[in-house]
Structure 1
Amino acid sequence: MEQKHPLPPFTFETAVQKVQLAEDAWNSQDPEKVSLAYTIDTVWRNRSTFINGRRAVQEFLETKWKKELNYKLKKELWAYTDNRIAVRFEYEWQDQQGQWFRAYGNENWEFNENGLMEKRYASINDLPIDESERRLV
């Protein structure tokens, strides 16, 4: 059976570990690697986009990282319970024309007993920034 450690129920330490693993995976910008953290039938809301299934997650991320160049992400644990984790995050990226952005957001995650994410709800706002304002280098 497919598992992704640490498994719920989460403690403070394992919730922090799960968040760091997610940050590291997303910073790899490897859609296949990232998608393996989710159930086959995962359900996402990412901004106003609704995504269903691991394969759709992978396709979404492939498109995302073709558009969002020089991507760098930082996640922080906000709260946790038995099988749920809430994070705040920010990431910086550059578009094809060279404009930098910082995205701010919150995510709510729900995991199955095998540590795979079943649900991900993300609210995200983008802010254009000058290159000199970058914090995530």
Structure 2
Amino acid sequence: MSLVPPFTAETARAKVKKAQDIWNTRDPAICVKAYTEDSIWRNRTTFLKGHSQIIEFLTRKWEKERNYRLRKELFAFTDNKIAVQFWYEYQDAHDSMKWKRCYGLEDWTFAEDGRMRKRQMSGNDVDIKETERWFANDADVNTVEIGEQHW
């Protein structure tokens, strides 16, 4: 199955899960390959452009966000754009290793070769107790029940 635009419901969903798997590696060198060399990002209040800034950003991110586990789900799509809803959990190395969950939305625009040309992310972190975690231990992030109040 080709994961380049134009997307269908099937290929958009597969593209989202591929991105989820890549980000769950927590390896900036692997992640950056999914983006064009001049990719433009807004991640919350941070604005980035290009591979070197993306690698620096992701390196800092995962130095802070330990034990990171992510789930992404398709929200909507067009020929070359995908909107995603996501949830991830992590321990905050800058906040006494407290567990946190981030809720958010992303919109992605793709180049013809299937790499992401633009990524816009909005997210909010909430403190959670370890007992409230969804993605604990070896839980399959794709099958964990996420109630409607969290969608």
Q: TM-score, normalised by structure 1?
A: 0.95
Counterpart Cα distance in 2 of 1:57 and 1:87: 19
Question: Within 5 A, what are the aligned runs for 1:95-114?
Answer: 95-96=92-93, 97-114=96-113
Query: Which runs of structure 2 are paired with 1:108-127 in the superposition (5 Å)?
Result: 108-127=107-126
Report how far residue 14 of structure 1 moved.
Answer: 0.5
Equivalent residue number for residue 29 of structure 2: 32
1:57 to 47, 54, 57: 54
Q: Percent identity between the aligned chains?
A: 53
Structure 1 ranges of 4+ moved more than 4 A: none
Cα deviations by residue, 1:3-23 (Å, 9 ceiling, x for unpaired): xx5110000110011001000
How do 1:1-137 residues align onto structure 2 when only pairs under 5 Å count? Answer: 5-96=2-93, 97-137=96-136
**Aligned residues: CA RMSD:** 0.7
Q: How many residues align?
A: 133
Give the deviation of 1:136 after TM superposition.
1.3
How many angstroms apart in 1 are the aligned matches of 2:92 and 2:120? Answer: 24
User: In structure 2, what is the Cα distance between the partners aligned to 1:101 and 1:123?
Assistant: 16
> Is the partner of 2:4 in helix, strand or coil?
coil
Q: Residue by residue, what CA displacement relative to the aligned partner does 1:14-43 show, whole Å, maximum 9, x if unpaired?
A: 001100100000000010100100000000
In the alignment, residue 34 of structure 2 is paired with which amino acid?
Answer: A
Quote the offset at 1:55 in angstroms. 1.5
Cα displacement string for residues 38-74 of structure 1 (whole angstroms, at most 9, x for unaligned residues): 0000000000000010121111000100000000000
- Of the two structures, which has the highest relative contact order with CA contacts closer than 8 Å and spacing of 6 or more? 1
Separation (CA, whole Å) in 1 of partners of 2:116 and 2:51: 10
What is the letter of the counterpart of residue 77 of structure 1? L
Q: Which amino acid aligns with 1:88?
A: Q
Question: Which residues of structure 2 form unaligned runs of 5+?
Answer: 137-151
